Structure 1
């Protein structure tokens, strides 16, 4: 997704000048889809080869997402990342476990065909099934262009969506912290530093951001859950291989 505030030209230009790295969420127009047909060919690895028990809730491999159905290209609930991003994420997870915290991952590499599925969904005004949960304050017509773009940095393999969980002293019961919105909530309330979030919710978002930043990831400020390895291993290439079962 891109954010609604990007539709305000003056503000967008000002913020782009101040924080160009943070705003570079979408691939540049000159980027090309690589012909890699497998994760290995794309230089990606399944995160569970590094952290076998990492918590995955891969929303687009199910119907528990804003589209309301399994998304094209997600034939399995797996998280693929470029090797440097996967290693960095494993280090973040290891550090958090020492604090009785863990990550829950919602999305990693995203096939380009999945992004096309998002665009097709956004262009269908008759399908309003998920409006109450994901965009209650917006007309669906406002999503395409402002929130949903025809390209995604996820397709480069170094961006992921996730949240932070607090575990008990035995690390047996881990519960997601209150972040103020669900994942993929189309609303300014999802901005990482949104003044509409409560003090506790903002503190939880900052805990997540700080942990990820220590691991070398940067947050996209319009979505508290969205992080990209900085610098990206493949900044000018994205992929479309299917996420297949083992």
Structure 2
């Protein structure tokens, strides 16, 4: 692990995690290169900021749940290789039913570089601590489509409120939201703004 990075569990052990890319439950349908364990790795500054978010949510009986955090460059390279094999559409129905696989690059769903690889970007949601159930956000994590845009309008009042709760608590700790994905946030003062790392998650 590179200097300046930590295991989130050492900083904020109550935050839940489900690294989707360490499993078959993702838009490709296989475990992704570089994911060797279900552990969240981040820059220390990001982990400390998430601890503050968690503290705020805990007062409401809620918790963060992380789907992805630091992502090795080899994982991004895996995405790029997959995107070029147009007949591999195993998970299309679940993750990108209304988008042609050939358009994933031009629409910005797949890129050769990712902010995740700098260690200060996270994909996450909120869960009820008592039940462990995710709050309904109106679209699944990693769904490629307009339904995932934070301000998508054709969802219920409760779903909108859940998205805005996540957005509020993250922005209060200086995370910048991404316009196309309700789950994606980057720490505003990230320490490695121009560095992309490639060590495994283990």
Aligned to 1:88, the other structure's residue is in SS state helix
**Is 2:166 the counterpart of 1:208?**
yes
> 1:221 matched to which residue of 2?
179
TM-score by length of 1: 0.79
Cα deviation, residue 214, structure 1: 1.1
> 1:33 matched to which residue of 2?
none
For the residues of structure 1 that align with 2:114 and 2:153, how far apart are their CA atoms? 27
> 1:163 matched to which residue of 2?
125
CA contact (8 A) 2:15 2:65 kept: yes
Aligned to 1:192, the other structure's residue is in SS state coil
Aligned to 1:215, the other structure's residue is in SS state coil
TM-score by length of 2: 0.96
Residue by residue, what CA displacement relative to the aligned partner does 1:74-105 show, whole Å, maximum 9, x if unpaired? 01111111111110001111111011111110
For the residues of structure 1 that align with 2:134 and 2:153, how far apart are their CA atoms? 21
Q: Which has more radius of gyration?
A: 1
| Structural mapping, 1:109-188, within 5 Å | 109-146=70-107, 147-167=109-129, 172-188=130-146
CA contact (8 A) 2:12 2:50 kept: no
Cα deviation, residue 162, structure 1: 0.3
> 2:29 matched to which residue of 1?
68
For the residues of structure 1 that align with 2:189 and 2:12, how far apart are their CA atoms? 22
Aligned to 1:228, the other structure's residue is in SS state strand
RMSD over aligned Cα atoms:
1.0
For the residues of structure 1 that align with 2:168 and 2:179, how far apart are their CA atoms? 13
CA contact (8 A) 1:123 1:144 kept: no
Cα deviation, residue 166, structure 1: 2.5
Aligned to 1:237, the other structure's residue is in SS state coil
> 2:56 matched to which residue of 1?
95
Aligned to 2:105, the other structure's residue is in SS state helix
**Is 2:31 the counterpart of 1:43?**
no
> Any runs of at least 4 consecutive aligned residues in structure 1 with deviations exceeding 3 A, and if so which?
none
Cα deviation, residue 197, structure 1: 2.3
CA contact (8 A) 1:42 1:239 kept: no
**Is 2:66 the counterpart of 1:105?**
yes
